[in-house]
Amino acid sequence: MAIDDEVRLLRDDVGFVDCPGRGVVVVSGPDTWSFLQSLVSQDVSSLGDGEGARSLLLHPQGKLDVEFRILRVGDDAWLDTDTGLGAQLAASLLRFRIRVKVEIVDRSADLGMLRVGGPKSDALLTDVPTEQHAHVEWEGCRAVRSDWPSCRGIDVIGSRDAIAGARDRLIAMGVSECATEALEIVRVVSGVARQSMDYDDALIPQEAGLEVDAVSFTKGCFLGQELVCRIDTRGHVNRYLRALEVDGAVVPDRGTEIVSGAKVVGTVTSAVRSPTAGVRVLGFVRREIEPPSEVALRLGGASGSIAAIVRERPPMPS
């Protein structure tokens, strides 16, 4: 199947993608929820079994350590994060495990994830709640509501054996498997950022809009709270992660400079070509470049520059 057809399935019909390398950390024990409540940016004290939320673990200075989704599975917490970040998340949590009864296990090697995308996913996994991050048991896995802007989706997380069974079940239901490249196109066009691609531990949460649905400003103390709250009440950041619409068919490389006039005002972090939307980019742009603004992407060498328009990223569903 052509990549353009796979993109259309994930956006307009239904398809699934194997997402290898996802990080999953499981926290268990009688102090699980009080331990996490004292550290993470989200208020997790009232999460019930089958519910979830987006959250952050920050460094004490307030910059990002790891972004993750937290799922309550019985009395345990499953912390689902981006590719390659499970070990980092587990190690960071372990540093704060002092006189508490919790076990912190990086299960990234034995758990996997499938992304089922498209509006028809609801008709296949009918028991999955409509609330974002809510989850139910399905085929021995957790099926998690995971909508993106203008794009319905369900993430299926479980053991390698259970994921293999879920994959076979989806194929038997007539769902086509799509490539990770197709999912990447849908992600960037939807304006969804990834820590392993679009930002690192130099990030202040407000620079990528993470405070909107991953930070509670009413829960009380959490690690790195001072900087985040100070910016929220009386400060600002100097750059924002934006979406850019690019003129033409050239897909710029990651790291391409974004310029306004003769001044460099940002950097490309992700770039794709969509069969319907054309070339789309995510990138950090100086705060004075307010959407919508015309800029250029400096390709380097003899390639010159290409025109682009800076747009707001659509908010994540909540």
pLDDT tens digits along 207-266: 999 999 999 999 989 999 999 999 988 889 999 999 999 999 999 999 999 999 989 999
Q: Are 176 and 282 in contact (CB under 8 A)?
A: no
288 has a pLDDT exceeding 70: yes
Average pLDDT over residues 261-287: 96
> Can you state the percent helix, strand and coil of the chain, rounding each to 5?
25, 35, 40
With a pLDDT cut of 70, the percent of the chain lying above it is 99
pLDDT tens digits along 65-93: 999 999 999 999 999 999 999 999 999 99
Residues in Cβ contact with 5 at an 8 Å cutoff, skipping those fewer than 6 apart: none
What does the alpha-carbon distance between residue 186 and residue 182 come to, in Å, rounded to a whole number? 6
Average pLDDT over residues 20-26: 95
Query: Angle at the Cα of 63 (from 58 to 67), degrees rounded to 5?
Result: 50
Q: Compute the radius of gyration of the chain from its Cα atoms.
A: 20
What does the alpha-carbon distance between residue 243 and residue 225 come to, in Å, rounded to a whole number? 27
300 has a pLDDT exceeding 80: no
Residue 235's pLDDT is what? 83
Whether this prediction's pTM lies above 0.85 is answered by yes
Domains in the chain, CATH or no CATH each: 3-190 (3.30.1360.120), 238-318 (2.40.30.110)
